[in-house]
Amino acid sequence: MAVHGARGRCARGDWALYEAWVKLLTGEADTALVHSYGKSSPGRLRDVLTRQLDPYYLAPLWPDSVALAALQAQALIDAGDTDEAALAAVAGRNRIAAVANPYAQERGDRPQGEYVVRPLRRGDCPPVLFAPHVRAYMRRTDAPDTVGALVAYKDRRNALRNPYAHLHEKDITMEKVRSSPMLWDPIRYSETCPSSDGACAMVLTDEAGGRRAPGPVAWVHGGAMRSEPTMFAGKDFVSPRAGRDCAADVYRQAGITDPRRQIDAVEMYVPFSWYEPMRLENIGFAPEGEGWKLTESGVTELDGDLPVNPSGGVLSTNPIGASGMIRFAEATLQVRGTAGGHQVDGARPAPGHAYGGGSQFFALWVVGSGHPGE
């Protein structure tokens, strides 16, 4: 039995899945178990991610996501848009509100010097690095600032149908999302993913193994991985070239010429709500500048023409390291008809999508309920 490891940050599980699939295609294996997990709880994720940047940038980058957020806060203070007391009050209100939440990991009003200045738990993720890309998308497309809230509200409601989702906000409302604190303009607190612990495992087998399976199977119609440097002159962070190339390759393999019409449901990597319209464009579901219109018109709702993240997505479950692979697994559940309460009726072809790093690693596969040749 051969054992292999893969690394691709948030897309590491998908990279391993792709490697296993290639081994099946080349005859090096007939069955593979692919496993990925994420465990954020033992340490401070923001410190870990900062150190992981070293091999990508070839030099230590010690400012972490919270330090960069502090620089942004200072810029707001210098511009006269706020002051230290107002910023501290935001942190204090959230800490006090957390007392009533049994799942909150940081609770109570804990003074730090003159002010209450403590990072929110979801601040352990690095949205401070992604907020400028969202703002760039808004400038390009003239998308209204309500789009992010629509995505978050949709995905959190979908999560209530999924017993494996990590966030079950039964009292979620559009107003609650819209009134949550602005963390990194234009990203609000309720529009960010959690940091959680979890794992995912999948079994891939060859055609003979698939036909022996006692229950419904998902057939892989196409898969691809692409990567590009995190930083280079001319990189388009809004719609990375590697993401576009990855999708084009998979659709070619699967014989898909019109993803918007031929695909029934999508499990997409959306760590911050605005990435739904951005990635809808990046992987071919909408023309450039029009992804937000699909979200706003309800197309991506669970009962819409193109349900996106019926499971609740990364916005509701984010064990970093496994969260990308979970998108692939959820797509598989959809075409097998075993997704339970968040099943999309009649889902046949469905893609699983993931990316990792600073929009660096991209993975996509399309699975279907029928054999690719049938």
Summarised one tens digit per residue, pLDDT across range 161-189 is: 999 999 999 999 999 999 998 877 899 98
Tell me the pLDDT tens digit for each residue of 291-349: 999 999 999 999 999 999 999 999 999 988 899 999 999 999 999 999 999 999 999 99
Summary mean pLDDT of the chain:
84
Which pLDDT does position 183 carry in this prediction? 78
> Among 31-45, 148-162, 333-347, which stretch is predicted with the lowest mean pLDDT?
31-45
Is 284 in the same domain as 320? yes
Residue 59 and residue 160 in one domain: no
Give yes or no: residues 222 and 346 share one domain: yes
Residue, of 231 and 62, whose pLDDT is higher? 231
Contact criterion met (CB below 8 Å) for 324 and 238: no
Mean of the pLDDT values across residues 237-251?
96
98 and 68 together in one domain: yes
**Percent of the chain at pLDDT exceeding 90:** 55
The encoded tokens of residue 41 equal: 């709880």
pLDDT at 159 over 90: yes
pLDDT above 70 for 124: no
- Measured in degrees and rounded to the nearest 5, phi and psi for residue 192 equal -110, 160
Using the predicted structure, report yes or no on whether residue 60 has a pLDDT greater than 70. Answer: no
One domain, residues 241 and 332 = yes
Where is the domain boundary, 79, 99, 121? 121
30 and 59 together in one domain: no
Instruction: Answer whether residue 25 shows pLDDT above 80.
Output: yes
- Residues 6+ positions from 330 with CB-CB distance below 8 Å: 267, 310, 311, 339, 352
Burial 5-19 (b: 16+ CB within 10 A, else e): ebebbbbbbbbbbbe
Q: In this structure, are 50 and 161 located in the same domain?
A: no
User: What is the share, in percent, of the chain residues with pLDDT greater than 70?
Assistant: 79
At which of 75, 98, 121 does a domain end? Answer: 121
Q: How many domains does the chain have?
A: 2
- Its domain, for residue 61, covers 43-121
Cβ proximity of 59 and 237 under 8 Å? no
Least confident window among 98-102, 146-150, 153-157, 323-327? 98-102
pLDDT (average), residues 20-37: 90
Whether residue 286 is predicted with pLDDT greater than 80 in this model: the reply is: yes
Q: Is the pLDDT of residue 95 over 90?
A: no
Give the model's confidence band at 113: pLDDT under 50 very low, under 70 low, under 90 confident, else very high. very low
Same domain, 177 and 241: yes
Minimum mean pLDDT range among 3-7, 111-115, 336-340, 370-374: 111-115
* Residue 310 confidence (pLDDT): 98
Q: Are both 207 and 328 inside the same structural domain?
A: yes
Which phi-psi region, left, alpha or beta, contains residue 304 (left: φ > 0; alpha: ψ -120 to 50)?
Answer: beta
Confidence of residue 114 (pLDDT cuts 50, 70, 90): very low
Work out the pLDDT band at 129, boundaries 50, 70, 90.
confident
pLDDT band at 94 (very low <50, low <70, confident <90, very high): low
Kindly tell me if the per-residue pLDDT of 22 is higher than 60: yes
Neighbours of 83 (CB within 10 A): 11
Pick from 86, 121, 156: which residue ends a domain? Answer: 121
- Rounded mean pLDDT of 247-254? 97
Bridge partners of 192, per DSSP, are 272
Does 271 lie in the same domain as 367?
Answer: yes
pLDDT at 122 over 80: no
pLDDT, residue 11, reads 56
Query: Given this model, what pLDDT does residue 61 score?
Result: 57
Query: Do 194 and 322 reside in the same domain of the chain?
Result: yes
CATH number of the structural domain spanning residue 161: 3.40.47.10
pLDDT of residue 121: 45
Residue 2 has pLDDT above 80, yes or no: no
Distance from C-alpha of 167 to C-alpha of 153, rounded to nearest angstrom:
12
| CB-count exposure of residue 280 (10 Å: 0-12, 13-18, 19+) | buried
Mean pLDDT in residue range 95-112:
60
For residues 234 and 369, membership in a common domain is answered with yes
